[in-house]
Chain A
Amino acid sequence: MKRFYPVYCWLLLILPTLAFGEERFPPPEYESTYRPPITQAPAPRAEWLAYLDIAVLAAALALAGYLTLKRRSRRGVFALTAFTIAYFGFFRHGCVCPVGSIQNVALAIGQPQYALPIVVAAFFLLPLVAALFVGRAFCAGVCPLGAAQDVVLLRPMKVPAWLEQALGVLPYIYLGVAVLFAATGSAFLVCRYDPFISIYRMSGAPLLLTITVVMLAIGTVVGRPYCRFLCPYGVLLRWLSPFARWRVSIAPKQCVQCHLCKDACPFGAIRIPTPAENPGGRREGKGRLVLYLLLLPVFLAVGGTLGYWGGAVLSGQHMTVRQANRVWLEEHGKVKGTTLESDAFHRHGQSLDELLQAATAIRRQFDFGGLLLGGWIGLVIGLKLVFLSIRRRRTDYEADPAACLACGRCYRFCPEEHAPAEVLEKIG
């Protein structure tokens, strides 16, 4: 297999050249009385198809739960993954997806004039509701982003625990930034930099295609890098999955401590039994935990303060603020020439005061949003340290309910899956 890796990687790396095939051509310059036909906007998608999407999503979630928890079928999950790629990926072009729907919800909260479409609301809520019953069944085989990574995973490597913890902070930050930008109407960052959308749409800008290639290349050796270290929706699922009614269990009935599943999970979601701890270590652990708990408000305050004062730069990502900044600089002779933004402003007929007032309002939102974002980052770091200081006692090999993607890969490693418990007992 190894000899094909260079070819495979090479194939993926030159994929961006496809982007150059997608260019637009100007219409011919007619000098006669002929008028080119007016471009017709395609009719919106039929409403019933949107409801079909909701129904398909609900059915897929139910099926994923059934396949992972009841049937314990990795093949079934893989088949569902293939269906997800076909339907939610290529047929629906990866949109709407629950991951991106976070931004719609944030926008609806931040900008009350935006009405949240029912299909988007359903896509946002259904996987979360499902997580309360069957854990991360959505991640197992219903998410088109996860599916794309799942099929390219060829030779998973174990990510060191310290790196896993450090990278595990990123989804929380991505979630915070994405919500801030969406709520202020600045950008849908998660969609803009969706690494897999260019596959499903079979086109994309060179930067996005490069991101796709890099993510897929990493995904061949690191299990689902986007899901584990970036996905903002995964954060919400992580919070809800531990409360699931039914959860993934590596052993069908009882763990026999065979250790065979120890390295089975390519996503680092199996938690091993813990040895007994001495009293001295316990005291030290408690002291550390108290310290981090006391430091939580400090993390929160420092992050919030830095975020508040840094909001101005973030606000520059909003189109109106960027435009106002540019026009202001031009008006005060601090820059020469004009840009597309300032040209658009002058052609629109809006007064500078109106533009500045609009930009100021957005700047204020970013001041407050920066405060929340900074506080959120501080809180995440603090809570991570707190949770890493809590000692959990385990006697069996368990799938971490928060981190487990319910893919079913670990089942085949459990001898109980293949032989009845009484037989295993006799064998000893």
Chain B
Amino acid sequence: MKNNWYETAMRVAVIAGIFSALVLAILAANGWRSVPVTTLKAGKVADLKLELRKHPKDEGLKTQLRRIDLQLRQGFFRRRALAQDGALLLLGGLAIFLLAVKFAKQYRFRNPRPDGELADPRPAAAGGRYAVAVTGVMLAGVLTGLVLLSRHDVSFEYLASAAPPTKADYPTAEALAKNWPVFRGPGGCGVAKSTGVPATWDGKKGTNILWKTKVPLPGENSPVVWGDAVFLSGANEHQREVYCFDANTGKLRWKKPVTDLSCADKSPLQVMEDTGYAAPTMVTDGKRAVAMFANGDLACFDFTGKRLWAKNMGKPDNMYGLGSSLTFYKNRLILQFDQGTAAEDGKSALLALDMTSGRQVWKTKRPVPTSWSTPNVIDTGTRAEIITCANPWVIAYNPEDGKELWRAEVLGGDVAPSPVFAGGMVFAVNSGANLAAIHPGGTGNVTKTHVAWLYADDLPEIVSPVSNGELVYIVYTYGTLTCLDAKTGKKVWSQTVEDEFKSSPTVVGDRIFLMDTNGVMHFLSGGRAYKELGKAALGEPSNCSPAFMNGRIYIRGKYNLYCIGKKG
């Protein structure tokens, strides 16, 4: 009887084994014939698709393509179904095979025949100790290998660079006031303390032109000046460069390319011609100068032209091209990096980087879409605030930690003008929304509590406002100049001229300097009545805002950098 069961079990095992082998052979053949995913992207299908691009209306091609596509898909799913069914059958076959073999084994059970002698366990224990010791040595070898590999691990490099700077290294308020470190000068509000600047010049005739130097690559950024160094950047689609000019002679001291910064997004960068590839104005703190370009490259150089650090911040999602200029607070570079078409994109942020190392100190997400406005660091008397403008918020941040202080919903549209601070009030403006006067120092949403007044006519879309604390001046691109009372927001005067403006105005003493796109500087009276005091032509177009320092004016034309001052 036992033998009968054994034989039966063995027969079942043989049949199950053969069955499993057959199923496996079918599955192997099925797997071999399986259509790779790439089939739909290569071979005949790819050729047909290429052909279809050339002849998009060829119905015959379309029909042929659809037929092949359908055949491939049907074949794929047929084979996949076969694979799934086959796997089940194989599993069943192997299960029966195993059960049959085990069943058969039960009927060939061999009774144990031990020798009955007790083995001395000591040799086994000694062998075990030896084996464990050898294993331990091998493991030590593995760990040593890890140590040797770790010595060259790249993470050590950035661990070293992640160390915080040991000493804060930034200029004093006095030093800042004597120079022109950021867009629109110290304080970023377009107010120059410089005296003795000439009242007229002529770029073509050379009247009051101390020097004029060609700028190698184009750019819409404005000059920043520290001591005897003038910094500009220039770029085109393929090149990005940073320049340092001698403020006394105009000689190009050095020109440094910004290259080798990788950005995974290799798609072509698209910018508006008016914006260009180097619109953001640089910053300088007296030891370093930092430039940013439309592709997100950010590079820091010392005054000798040595690149201190550089990084790509990622290709900006900005439909017109990057426009926001850099600014800084103490040793922190402030970067308003607004991106995306809607606030919900979640791409916008305000960042603070360590000027010495480029290391990020903080980053705060912003609930806004792309903007082109430059942040401004103001001192309210009790605290420092970074004022930012974008649609629809004016938001103030703590420059120490990037935390939001207050926000006011007063703006809209594509925001480009930068905010200014004068007479204890923040002025923010954009075309189609408002010119808003806001008391700083608030907390949370201050729209209903801290907005002193709103004004909604002839608002600028590019040009930033300027204020002497008593009056506020705004300039609509196509020639409407408006002056308002800073305290009440009431219009004092309005004047329309024939010129076009993109450069932002500067208050110099009791005068307003405002340059049109043809490079003609308009001198206006800073009083409560409109009065044009005169004009001076650069001799070439310009969209940049001038820098005023030590009785000189530095203006970037479309092609040249000019230094204007009284000769002799």
Contact = CB atoms under 8 A, between A and B. Distances in A.
Interface of A: 1, 4, 7-8, 10-11, 14-15, 17-26, 28, 151-152, 154, 160-166, 169, 173, 199, 202-203, 259-264, 272-275, 277, 281, 299, 302-303, 306-307, 309-316, 321, 324-325, 328-334, 338, 342-343, 345-347, 349, 351-354, 356-357, 359-360, 363, 374, 377-378, 381, 384-385, 388-389, 413
A315 B125 CA distance: 37
The 6 closest A-B CB pairs, nearest first, are: A21-B83, A310-B146, A353-B360, A346-B264, A165-B128, A162-B127
Interface string B480-498: 0000000000000000000
**Interface hub of B125, B161, B363 (most chain A Cβ within 10 A):** B125
23 contacts: A1-B101, A21-B27, A22-B83, A25-B76, A165-B132, A166-B132, A169-B132, A202-B84, A264-B112, A272-B118, A306-B143, A306-B147, A309-B147, A312-B155, A325-B154, A328-B158, A331-B261, A349-B347, A360-B155, A360-B159, A363-B155, A385-B132, A388-B129
Given A338-B262, A343-B264, A385-B129, 17 more contacts: A4-B13, A11-B20, A17-B24, A18-B83, A162-B127, A199-B91, A274-B121, A275-B118, A303-B140, A312-B153, A313-B146, A352-B311, A353-B363, A357-B162, A359-B155, A360-B159, A389-B129
Interface in B360-377: 360, 363
B451 interface: no
B197 interface: no
Interface in B319-363: 339, 347, 351, 353, 358-360, 363
A11 B155 contact: no
A369 B13 CA distance: 51
Nearest to B18: A7
B313 interface: yes
B195 to A, nearest CB: 42
A324 B264 contact: no
A303 B153 contact: no
A272 B119 contact: yes
B5 interface: no
B213 interface: no
Contacts of B79: 21
**Interface hub of B14, B34, B143 (most chain A Cβ within 10 A):** B143
Contacts of A363: 155, 159
B363 A351 contact: yes
B94 A11 contact: yes
A130 to B, nearest CB: 27
Interface in B98-142: 98, 101-102, 104-105, 108, 112, 114-116, 118-122, 124-125, 127-136, 139-140
B360 A354 contact: yes
Nearest to B98: A151
A1 B104 contact: yes
Main secondary structure of the interface of A (DSSP, over half): helix
A382 B213 CA distance: 77
A93 B334 CA distance: 53
Given A18-B27, A202-B88, A346 B153 contact: no
Contacts of A347: 264-265
B146 A346 contact: no
B306 interface: no
Given A14-B24, A25-B76, A309 B150 contact: yes
A360 to B, nearest CB: 5
A351 B362 CA distance: 11
B21 A377 contact: no
Contacts of B139: 169, 173, 377, 381
B272 interface: no
B34 A21 contact: yes
A299 B139 CA distance: 12
Nearest to A264: B112
Interface string B156-196: 11110110000000000000000000000000000000000
Nearest to A351: B360
Nearest to B36: A23
B96 to A, nearest CB: 12
B263 interface: yes
B106 to A, nearest CB: 10
B158 A359 contact: yes
Given A11-B21, A263-B112, A360-B159, A345 B264 contact: yes
Contacts of B32: 17, 20
B69 interface: yes
Given A11-B21, A25-B37, A346 B263 contact: yes
Contacts of B314: 346, 349, 351
Contacts of A4: 13-14, 17, 101
B236 interface: no
Interface in B251-302: 260-265
B155 A325 contact: yes
Contacts of B347: 349
Given A302-B140, A329-B154, A161 B124 contact: yes
Contacts of A334: 154
Contact of B143 (A17, A28, A307): A307
B454 interface: no
Contacts of B83: 18, 21-22
Nearest to B260: A333
A384 B132 contact: yes
B262 A331 contact: yes
B137 to A, nearest CB: 9
Contacts of A357: 162, 360
B80 interface: yes
Contacts of A17: 24, 27-28, 31-32
Contacts of A388: 125, 128-129, 132
A360 B158 contact: yes
